[in-house]
Amino acid sequence: MQEIIQYFNGNPIIYKLFLSFIILLVYIKLIRIANKVLFKTIKDNGIYYTTRKRLYYLHSVILLVIFIIIWSESRMDLTIYVGFISAGIAIALREIFTNIAALLIIVIQKPFEVGDRVIVNDRAGDVIDQKIFHFVIMEVTAKTDGEQCTGKIVHIPNNYIFLHAIANANKGFGYIWNEIEVRLTIDSEWEEAKAQLETIVKKHAEHLTEEAKNKVHEASKKYMLHSQNLNPIVYVTVKDGFIKLNMRYLTEPRTSKITEDTIWREILLYVKDNKAVKLA
């Protein structure tokens, strides 16, 4: 052993080559172990691929710094090496760090919680899980298609809260405005139709008004909410040669399609029995 030590002391180049080779072998083994752990713990292929690539970049930077330390003849200050490593970590794992920072914002400020219906980067759905690096939503279709569940599970990185606007239908006072546009021909008895539509929409939505007022009052303690008329209403406009009756009413986020279906059924029955009112 002493002969080996003396040999290496007399041949620093050989010693550095041997040491670099051993470190490289150890590092390759560590990388393989880390990849196996990631493969077993991360089920989503996209997240596994991204995390593995980031760790690969981090390993490369650290290995480069180690080789610089071994082969450098200068006696650089330890803080400089630490700076190199810190910069490498920050660059390689920036998305991981931003995802963890975003998780803290989500936990503390609660822009959304599990169970909320949200829209993030044009993706709409119900939040079904919150993880360290991402949150999971059950996708729903666009409002024009009825906001029906597609059955797809979407994983969204936490740092999207820094990059994209988030719409939450369950925050504020817990209700959303829904509108139904009814087009009538110009010769229709629109006054009678408006009165009937007001009766229909109040029948299905007016019971929410008082509860919504109470929730608006509570929400105004947290947000700058201006007072507004929360009662169901029907607006009349004339456009493109039609009389348009817009029924505007409050509904719960997940029941808008059901309420709309019920209201349309009553509208169609009313029009069927009234010859003076014609749908365009």
* 85 in the same domain as 131: no
Quote the tokens at residue 106: 């989500």
CB 154 within 8 A of CB 201: no
Cβ neighbours of residue 65 closer than 8 Å, sequence gap 6 or more? 81, 84, 85, 88
CA distance 224 to 171: 13
Please check whether residue 197 is in contact with residue 181, taking contact to mean a CB–CB distance below 8 angstroms: no
Tell me the pLDDT of the chain (280 aa) as tens digits.
Answer: 556 556 556 666 777 777 778 888 888 888 888 878 877 777 777 677 777 777 777 777 777 777 777 766 555 555 665 666 666 666 666 777 888 888 889 888 888 888 888 888 888 899 988 888 889 999 988 776 767 888 888 889 898 888 888 888 877 667 888 899 999 999 889 999 999 999 999 888 877 777 777 776 666 656 666 657 788 899 999 988 899 999 999 888 778 888 889 999 999 999 988 888 888 8
pTM confidence score: 0.56
> C-alpha angle 254/256/262, rounded to 5°?
130
Distance of CA 211 to the CA centre of its chain: 29
CB burial string 246-256: b at 16+ within 10 A, e below: ebbbbbbbeeb
Per the structure, the count of domains in the chain is 3
- Of the three residues 138, 168, 198, the one that is the final residue of a domain is 168
The residue among 61, 92, 123 that closes a domain is: 92
Decide if 125 contacts 153 (C-beta within 8 A).
Answer: no
Dihedral pair phi/psi, residue 166, rounded to 5°: -120, 120
Is the domain of 164 the same as that of 190?
Answer: no
Residues 15 and 78 in one domain: yes
Distance CA 203, CA 70 (A): 81
